[in-house]
Structure 1
Amino acid sequence: MLLARAPPPPLLSPSKSPAQRVRAFCRRRLAAPSTAAHASTVASSEASSFRAGQKRKQVASVANPLVKHCVKLRDSAAYRRSCGRLLLVGLVPILEVWRSGFAAIDCLLLLDGLAVPEELHELCGDVVYVSATVMKKISGMQSVDSTEAIAVMHMPKYFCDLNGDDGGAALDGLLHSPRRILVLDGIQDPGNLGTLIRSACAFKWDGVFLLPSCCDPFNEKALRAARGASLQLPIVSGNWYDLRAFMTERGMKMLAGHPESNSDGSDGTQTLSKELADSLMNESLCLVLGSEGNGLSEETVQACELVSIPMEGIFESLNVSVAGGIFLFMLRPKQQIYSRTLTS
């Protein structure tokens, strides 16, 4: 089910960085009430930060059903998709995603003693105060120093699983006239996958296609590495049959990043250069990047024109997220290059 986009909340002063806002947030810990009058003042202050109909709850036990639900959201991709929800850990990524306006927060979990951040006063979901033990259980981390907040968020409307019943119908709506598609072939490290999605979003690529064996893009570590890009960029999960049909129908040229060393028996690898990028500027492109350990699949090698990054020294290849950033920048869409030229 496609979900409505949440309206962006009012922003704080742009002079404050996310790190500064986190420090300010941490300084707003509510002091233990020493008198009844002070306790009443604190309660009144807390109440003013809740909208009408918004619930304030308290959870101290790891056996609470909400805690079990959150742990399953963190650990299981199948459960995330069946619920249409995901878990985002840490105040900085929560604020970044909330400011983008591309996701709605169902529930905000805050460490006991913390006030609701100003930027999140307008959220419609519940606010749940949890103990340090519960926060550690849900986040899977041993320390709560960087996990003062966790958000249960809606799965983005820009995600499409072609294994689902309505995947094919939704695909055309997500990627109706793409010029640049990043395809990830068996990327299993969530940090690398999230970083690649973030780079694709930064360089204005139209979407990401995930082939089998890729880790889930809504894995908590992948979400943190993507810094909100996973909720803004169309992401499609499918197989090689789906990809071939999609690229053939739209007449897209298929390239694959490949080490200069042809140890897999491939040949005819081109070198990534400005001249090559310029020659492809007006073409619709699909770029495939392979996994960290196994590289490109045989299907990818057979279907794509291979392109390598020229390097000096003894190194044969780069980390896939580093190499991907270079490819995505060099092959970025024409309109982005043109707009940067006008503003430089």
Structure 2
Amino acid sequence: MLLLARAPPLPPPLAASYPATPERALRFRSISSSRAAVATASAAAKPAASSRSGQKRKQVASVANPLVKHCVKLRLSAAYRRSCRRLLLVGLAPILEMCRFELDAIDYLLLLDGVEVPEELREFCGDVVYVSAAVMKKVSGMQSVDSTEAIAVMHMPRHFRDLGSHEDGDSLHGLFNHPKRILVLDGIQDPGNLGTLIRSACAFKWDGVFLLPASCDPFNEKALRAARGASLQLPVVTGTWHDLHELMTKYNMKMMAGHPESSGDASKGIQSLSKELADSLLNESLCLVLGSEGNGLSSETLQACELVNIPMEGTFESLNVSVAGGIFLFMLQPKYQIDSRTLTP
């Protein structure tokens, strides 16, 4: 028989390892509470018959079930996702995309009553939970379940770091091994744009993504859908400008930021993106910063970075940030990625 995927055990007493300051006590009380919620959700589903592939099948019909409440909170709260180290993935297509990389990352697979386990997931050895249409609507947040046959509760990627947390605070060490290209997102709030940028960074072999404050959560449902599995492959870090400066200094990285040429908030010259500029940067380690369409680059970014724009014809002042980012990421991709390409007539 295959073993069930279970939530991690509760940590040892926290007072033995950390000073008992009010802030830390509150933080760790929240973490312990969240992990207790995971454990409660694990036991909440009613056992049903075992499937042919060995999964333990369970049944949930009530929207008041603790597992349902746990899933809804994962969908709605970034803080809860991070404290539990779990995320919610809605829809069979994105689940199958994710499972190409980490099938064992799934804790629970929620299936609508009457739906068979997809062939691609027959090797999944965690819990399969069959749910009613009411539960599927509640968990997914959708009014119709016509296109929502499956939902997965998954572990967060091992290479995700939140430098603002006590658990991940000093864990940049070992995450990057002499990175050559880091994409930095400065206040990107649209989850579709953020997920698309992570996907493009992965496609062009950048070494990781660094999210500055005010950027949306990379494990927001829409961001996960847009990333199409890239969030499980690429190191993603959230932190402050202080954290980014330490990373930049450690690896001697050059700082550049994408900036519209017509914008009037730049106090210094702006270079144009070109093949000559890209060639001149091939052997340098580079952080590229992209800002939100609404607010643009922060004052810290404008002060710390060399500015570069995409030259355009016509009357358009700027591109959508995910489109502009794709161009930057392709043009400035690392040398080993360019060298590995085989050009054919």
Q: TM-score, normalised by structure 2?
A: 0.83
User: Map of 1:196-215 to 2, 5 A cutoff?
Assistant: 196-215=197-216
CA displacement 1:23-53 (0-9 Å, x = unmatched): xxxxxxxxxxxxxxxxxxxx99x7313x1xx
Question: How far apart, CA to CA, are the structure 1 residues paired with 2:103 and 2:167?
Answer: 22
Instruction: Give the superposition deviation at 1:342.
Output: 6.0
Give 1:204's aligned amino acid.
K
Instruction: Give the superposition deviation at 1:143.
Output: 1.7
Q: Which residue of 1 aligns with 2:302?
A: 301
Q: Which residue of 2 aligns with 1:268?
A: 269
Are positions 1:324 and 2:309 aligned together? Answer: no
Question: How far apart, CA to CA, are the structure 1 residues paired with 2:104 and 2:187?
Answer: 27
Instruction: Give the superposition deviation at 1:210.
Output: 0.4
Pick from 47, 51, 58 the counterpart of residue 51 of structure 2.
47
User: Map of 1:117-128 to 2, 5 A cutoff?
Assistant: 117-128=118-129
Name the SS for the 2:199 alignment partner.
helix
Q: Which residue of 1 aligns with 2:105?
A: 104
Give 2:228's aligned amino acid.
R
Tell me whether 296-305 or 128-137 shows the greater mean CA deviation: 128-137
Contact 1:103 1:231 (C-alpha < 8 Å) held by counterparts: no
Contact 1:180 1:207 (C-alpha < 8 Å) held by counterparts: yes
In structure 2, the CA distance between the partners of 1:180 and 1:304, relative to structure 1 (3 Å rule), is same
In structure 2, the CA distance between the partners of 1:103 and 1:224, relative to structure 1 (3 Å rule), is farther
Contact 1:86 1:155 (C-alpha < 8 Å) held by counterparts: yes
Instruction: Give the superposition deviation at 1:343.
Output: 6.9
Q: How many residues align?
A: 298
Question: How far apart, CA to CA, are the structure 2 residues paired with 1:74 and 1:332?
Answer: 34
Contact 1:102 1:232 (C-alpha < 8 Å) held by counterparts: no
Question: How far apart, CA to CA, are the structure 2 residues paired with 1:57 and 1:339?
Answer: 48
CA displacement 1:278-315 (0-9 Å, x = unmatched): 11011000000001200000100010000000111111
Give 2:236's aligned amino acid.
I
Q: Which residue of 2 aligns with 1:256?
A: 257
CA displacement 1:119-161 (0-9 Å, x = unmatched): 1111121001111111111111112122110000001101011
Instruction: Give the superposition deviation at 1:341.
Output: 3.4
Question: How far apart, CA to CA, are the structure 2 residues paired with 1:265 and 1:258?
Answer: 8
Q: Which residue of 2 aligns with 1:32?
A: none
Give 2:148's aligned amino acid.
T
Give 2:262's aligned amino acid.
S
Q: Which residue of 2 aligns with 1:244?
A: 245
Q: Which residue of 1 aligns with 2:177?
A: 176
Name the SS for the 1:169 alignment partner.
coil
Unaligned 5+ segments in structure 1 are 1-42
Question: How far apart, CA to CA, are the structure 2 residues paired with 1:281 and 1:243?
Answer: 21
CA RMSD in angstroms comes to 1.6
Question: How far apart, CA to CA, are the structure 2 residues paired with 1:159 and 1:211?
Answer: 14
Name the SS for the 1:174 alignment partner.
coil
In structure 2, the CA distance between the partners of 1:103 and 1:222, relative to structure 1 (3 Å rule), is farther
Are positions 1:186 and 2:190 aligned together? Answer: no
Instruction: Give the superposition deviation at 1:168.
Output: 4.4
Give 1:48's aligned amino acid.
R
Contact 2:266 2:302 (C-alpha < 8 Å) held by counterparts: no
Q: Which residue of 1 aligns with 2:86?
A: 85
Q: TM-score, normalised by structure 1?
A: 0.84
Give 2:176's aligned amino acid.
L
Tell me whether 101-110 or 286-295 shows the greater mean CA deviation: 101-110
Name the SS for the 1:62 alignment partner.
coil
Contact 1:260 1:269 (C-alpha < 8 Å) held by counterparts: yes
Give 1:274's aligned amino acid.
K
Q: Which residue of 1 aligns with 2:312?
A: 311
Unaligned 5+ segments in structure 2 are 1-47
Question: How far apart, CA to CA, are the structure 2 residues paired with 1:83 and 1:166?
Answer: 12
Question: How far apart, CA to CA, are the structure 2 residues paired with 1:90 and 1:343?
Answer: 38
| Over 4 Å off, 4+ runs | none
